[in-house]
Structure 1
């Protein structure tokens, strides 16, 4: 879990001085519009080599990142033809921006993008079954991808697609992760020291100093995936006890995890539960905010979930769909995810931004992400405890 310096909570200190402008280039995160998304793409419209410039976010987080390894777009087959892509989520329009860049690079390539929530997109595909017009399901949540795969509606991805990605993020080769997000504990640095944040999420209810000072967003999908992971890892009884103990300790409820992170920065609460990138969003608008991150070790609090893509079995454009997914894993697209959505890259050679510890330096639990699709028992448990 720890990075080479042994400091789990160092990265936001380096980010804070950058200011709001320092986190530019990420629409949907910090209110930025990503207007440079296609600046140089026109120069590549003939299908010539695509560089990093049109993919990379702007501002100090992206400065000095240079050229990286990995498979470059120039090394991939051209995209030519038409795909229907069901997009679940999309990070505030950023994924749409990436599609636009690819369409500018390849003038003979067009994507019919149908956007909705992750569960809605998965349920639509399942309802359509073999008659679905979708060629690709691209979702911000591994559980929704697994739900479609469990219905036998996804094709097995070839080795050329999945091999660059760690096995955890393509457990059965029915889908593959394209961008990662880590669970974290944002904490107020005026209220807590780095050492004051528990290294195990399971011990938080037992900390009297944190009673009444924690926040969560139980209606938020990422939090429900975290509780699902806890239920799988610890069992239903232990998870029920943890949820009940948190309620008894006076945890404060918010509607989403950006608000949790913002409340930490405001000093409304001392710490909370949120995906890692929300603290960056806070820093984008409030560079002096007293907020930093901790990552727990080996438990549900250290879960690394993934946005990913699956090629649907009924498609008549399987080769083109596979090539599209390979483009999402190109070095350029991975740099897009890293510098515009602040996600964890899925391929070796592309570092995360802002001094984030790499995935290898974290200690996530050993869990099949596909099992996160079994959400209903989690919702029932949360209702039983009175969390929902």
Structure 2
């Protein structure tokens, strides 16, 4: 009886993969369902809770480090994935698709691979701003003409936090902090989340704001009076925030985990995410995407070292808490 039980457990376990994902369930679940259908491997998914952002899952993975329950971490960004690498939670895996992605979007030691990126964009209300009056650069927002006319999410969490950390990395702490002080002095409206900045702009309560392409695309698809700007094409470029796929060290189903990662990094998955409501930009060439979606090379992607960006997260949070508290 014991032998039969162990055999049955082994068969069941071999047909399962456990994934923790910070990608919104509405976007990630269909991808995982496609994987199940195509491979026959059952996916046990733990989805993020919006209130805790990615941090909740990261803390859970760290807590489970000595007895891992997950096989794969599918993260909607990269800095927390890098944190997990430093904590020893991840193990290297070079996917069959690894070479297809640009060097900037993957770990040189194979601990994670980036794909299907969101961009940090500006969204503006076309009833309040004409195309000729929109800014080319985020650095214009410290000028008097934009006093009280700009909104952004509280930069202690999420992609706004990463955006500021990227500025620390690219232009240096001193210039970044001067810029943030300038935003505060210019009465930039700080709100609780990128979707809130989008909604304020959609409703015409404020002309322009920082957000992500997935949030902005929802408004565009609904025909709202808004347009998207990929800023700083002539300057530092637009920050891209890739999804990341990483294998958990000593996870219960490593082979199935590798198979899931290969699936996430496939052309088919990047294409599905591009055509979906989240409008995530493919990072490998030759992927089918909507005609209106630019190639990442066309928008001038910000050339950042994501490892360095991750290293600035804590400093960014401390400064923003003091200067840009809502």
The answer for the alignment partner of 2:158 in structure 1 is 221
State how far apart, in whole Å, the 2-side matches of 1:130 and 1:199 are.
49
Q: Are 2:280 and 1:348 aligned? A: no
The answer for the alignment partner of 2:175 in structure 1 is 238
Residue of 313, 318, 321 corresponding to 1:383: 321
Q: Are 2:239 and 1:303 aligned? A: yes
Contact 2:151 2:209 in 1 (8 A): yes
The answer for the alignment partner of 2:203 in structure 1 is 266
Change (3 A) 1:258 1:353: farther
**Cα distance per residue 1:159-191 (max 9 Å; x no partner):** 523112111111322111132001111112233
Question: Greater shift after overlay, 370-379 or 136-145?
Answer: 370-379
CA deviation after TM superposition for structure 1 residue 378, in Å: 0.9
Q: Are 2:72 and 1:139 aligned? A: no
CA deviation after TM superposition for structure 1 residue 100, in Å: 1.6
Q: Secondary structure at the residue paired with 1:216?
A: strand
State how far apart, in whole Å, the 2-side matches of 1:115 and 1:134 are.
12
**TM-score (ref. length: structure 2):** 0.86
Q: Secondary structure at the residue paired with 2:286?
A: coil
Q: Are 2:46 and 1:114 aligned? A: yes
Q: Secondary structure at the residue paired with 2:84?
A: helix
The answer for the alignment partner of 2:62 in structure 1 is 126
The answer for the alignment partner of 2:307 in structure 1 is 370
The answer for the alignment partner of 1:90 in structure 2 is 23
The alignment covers a number of residue pairs equal to 304
CA deviation after TM superposition for structure 1 residue 323, in Å: 1.7
The answer for the alignment partner of 1:81 in structure 2 is 15
Change (3 A) 1:246 1:368: same
Contact 2:32 2:43 in 1 (8 A): yes
Contact 1:183 1:303 in 2 (8 A): yes
CA deviation after TM superposition for structure 1 residue 356, in Å: 2.1
**Cα distance per residue 1:272-316 (max 9 Å; x no partner):** 11112222211333x1x2211111226677100111110122235
More helix by share: 2
Q: Secondary structure at the residue paired with 1:152?
A: coil
Q: Are 2:100 and 1:154 aligned? A: no
State how far apart, in whole Å, the 2-side matches of 1:269 and 1:354 are.
29
CA deviation after TM superposition for structure 1 residue 81, in Å: 2.3
**TM-score (ref. length: structure 1):** 0.73
Contact 2:194 2:211 in 1 (8 A): yes
**Cα distance per residue 1:317-367 (max 9 Å; x no partner):** 333222211111222212211111211123221244251221010112211
Q: Secondary structure at the residue paired with 1:181?
A: strand
State how far apart, in whole Å, the 2-side matches of 1:320 and 1:281 are.
33
Q: Secondary structure at the residue paired with 2:246?
A: strand
State how far apart, in whole Å, the 1-side matches of 2:200 and 2:291 are.
22
State how far apart, in whole Å, the 2-side matches of 1:352 and 1:105 are.
22
User: RMSD of aligned C-alpha atoms?
Assistant: 2.0
Structure 1 stretches of 5 or more lacking a match?
1-79
Alignment of structure 1 residues 139-288 onto 2, 5 Å: 139-158=75-94, 160-172=96-108, 173-206=110-143, 208-219=144-155, 220-285=157-222, 287=223
Alignment of structure 1 residues 36-115 onto 2, 5 Å: 81-87=15-21, 89-107=22-40, 109-115=41-47
Change (3 A) 1:124 1:315: same
Question: Greater shift after overlay, 325-334 or 191-200?
Answer: 191-200
State how far apart, in whole Å, the 1-side matches of 2:325 and 2:134 are.
23
Change (3 A) 1:185 1:386: closer
Structure 2 stretches of 5 or more lacking a match?
1-13
Q: Secondary structure at the residue paired with 1:93?
A: helix
State how far apart, in whole Å, the 2-side matches of 1:212 and 1:291 are.
19
State how far apart, in whole Å, the 1-side matches of 2:308 and 2:61 are.
19
CA deviation after TM superposition for structure 1 residue 120, in Å: 1.3
**Cα distance per residue 1:99-137 (max 9 Å; x no partner):** 122212333x11221222411111211222232121111
